[in-house]
């Protein structure tokens, strides 16, 4: 094909320069160069095709790797379903029974509390999943329009009650800490303070949200590292809840400073002093202070326990139904094994003939479907 095109070019050049031998010779040399170039391109193209064919003709690229697929039988499915149902039953005790809680509803009054040790805040009917910044993005002040820091409806409605827990009506408060309440990734990556050591100067061009009593840099006057956007209570609150009834971890009991609390919060009488600042009666909500123990699965979770009960019940019920069906209509295990052996034999034979078909793909005489029928017929005769 390339030679014919070059000869056509040569004929046109010879007609154009028939009266000039020098020009005709130059055209002849040019045409020879064209033929050589096209020949080189053709050879290179075929070599590349051959090389790529060798690289792509592998079991991985041609999807010829051996595979294993489990054959679902009654002897494997029924025990698996029963196992799932039985293993979920102990989790109900872990999530509901073992973990103890002491809940104090302090919506309208202050009460004493006793019990065993995480300290958790619970709010009801408080819709927190609002993602808009408006109308809490900017605020008109006497000095002009300023940015609200932090902005948004969630930040504006931040929970700001404070608590102090005393034991046996003494002046010694129960030691707790905010460290460990939030995940390390929250303070390392998700939340950052503006650059500079002086947070007041860093937030000088901003204003606090309208519902806040303190600025962002004054949230914790006792701990300098717990202010700004790195404040633990702020980070916990900004982890929005999907439902209107939710819990927020407040503090964790410190057990290494005092031997009295080495094994947890001892039984006794406790006095909880609450500085109530967060209004919930305006939207018909309620707020609780919870003292809770924990397990390896976390705190008390009634929803998770109920979910385990439902899953266990469904699995045990389905396992019983499958067992009855198998006992009445099931196939004996020796027949199932024979069927599995036949299936594996068919698969192996088909792979073998598929490989032969690939090797002889250029012959044009390989009848794949007919050969496959012969294989199936032969295997069926061999296995009875």
Across the chain, which has 384 residues, the per-10-residue mean pLDDT values are 45 45 49 66 68 64 78 82 83 59 55 53 78 82 88 90 84 88 90 87 91 91 91 93 88 84 81 88 87 70 81 91 86 58 64 57 49 51 42
Instruction: State the Cα–Cα distance between residues 290 and 247, nearest whole angstrom.
Output: 9
Say which residues have a Cβ less than 8 Å from residue 125's Cβ, sequence separation at least 6.
244, 245, 280, 283, 284, 285, 286
Tokens of 314: 């469904």
How far from 53 is each of 58, 323, 351, 366, CA to CA, in Å?
9, 53, 21, 21
167 has which bridge partners?
Answer: 270
Query: Contact 287/280 with Cβ under 8 angstroms?
Result: yes
What per-residue confidence (pLDDT) applies to 234?
Answer: 95
HEC profile of 219-268: CCCCCHHHCHHHCHHHHHHHCCCCCCCEEEEEEEECCCCCHHHCCCCCCC
The model carries a pTM of 0.57
What per-residue confidence (pLDDT) applies to 10?
Answer: 41
What per-residue confidence (pLDDT) applies to 341?
Answer: 64
141 has which bridge partners?
Answer: 144
CA 49 from centroid of its chain's CA atoms: 43
3-state secondary structure of 13: helix
What per-residue confidence (pLDDT) applies to 16?
Answer: 46
Query: Contact 188/172 with Cβ under 8 angstroms?
Result: no
Terminal CA-CA length for the chain: 59
What per-residue confidence (pLDDT) applies to 235?
Answer: 95
Instruction: State the Cα–Cα distance between residues 314 and 318, nearest whole angstrom.
Output: 6
């Amino acid at each position: 094909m390339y030679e014919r095109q070059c000869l056509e070019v040569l004929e046109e050049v010879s007609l154009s320069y028939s009266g000039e031998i020098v020009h005709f010779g130059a055209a002849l040399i040019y045409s020879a160069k064209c033929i050589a170039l096209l020949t080189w391109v053709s050879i290179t193209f075929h070599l590349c095709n051959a090389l790529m064919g060798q690289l792509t003709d592998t079991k991985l690229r041609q999807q010829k790797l051996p595979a294993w697929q489990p054959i679902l039988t009654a002897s494997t499915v029924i025990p698996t379903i029963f196992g799932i149902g039985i293993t979920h039953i102990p989790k109900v005790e872990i999530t509901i029974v073992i973990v103890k809680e002491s809940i104090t509803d302090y919506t309208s009054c202050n009460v004493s509390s006793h019990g065993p040790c995480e300290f958790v805040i619970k709010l009801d009917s408080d819709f927190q999943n609002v993602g808009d910044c408006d109308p809490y993005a900017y605020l008109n002040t006497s000095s002009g329009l300023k940015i609200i820091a932090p902005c948004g409806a969630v930040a504006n409605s931040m929970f700001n009650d404070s608590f102090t827990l005393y034991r046996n009506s003494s002046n010694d408060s129960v030691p707790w800490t905010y460290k460990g309440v939030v995940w390390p990734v929250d303070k390392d990556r998700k939340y950052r303070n503006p650059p500079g050591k002086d947070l007041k100067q860093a937030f000088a061009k901003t204003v606090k949200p309208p519902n806040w009593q303190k600025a962002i840099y004054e949230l914790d006057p006792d701990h300098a590292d717990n202010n700004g956007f790195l404040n633990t209570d702020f980070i916990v609150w900004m982890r929005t809840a999907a439902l209107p009834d939710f819990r927020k971890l407040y503090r964790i009991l410190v057990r290494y400073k005092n031997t009295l609390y080495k094994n947890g919060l001892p039984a006794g009488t406790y006095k909880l002093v609450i500085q109530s600042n967060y209004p919930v009666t305006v939207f018909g909500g309620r707020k609780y202070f919870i003292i809770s123990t924990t397990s390896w699965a976390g705190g008390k979770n009634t929803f998770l326990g109920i979910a385990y009960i439902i899953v266990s019940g469904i699995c045990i019920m389905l396992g019983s139904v499958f067992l009855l069906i198998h006992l009445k209509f099931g196939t004996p295990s020796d027949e199932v094994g024979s069927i599995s052996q036949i299936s594996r034999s068919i698969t192996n034979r088909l792979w073998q003939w598929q490989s032969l078909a690939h090797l002889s793909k250029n012959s044009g005489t390989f009848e794949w479907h007919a050969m496959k029928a012969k294989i199936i017929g032969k295997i069926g005769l061999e296995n009875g």
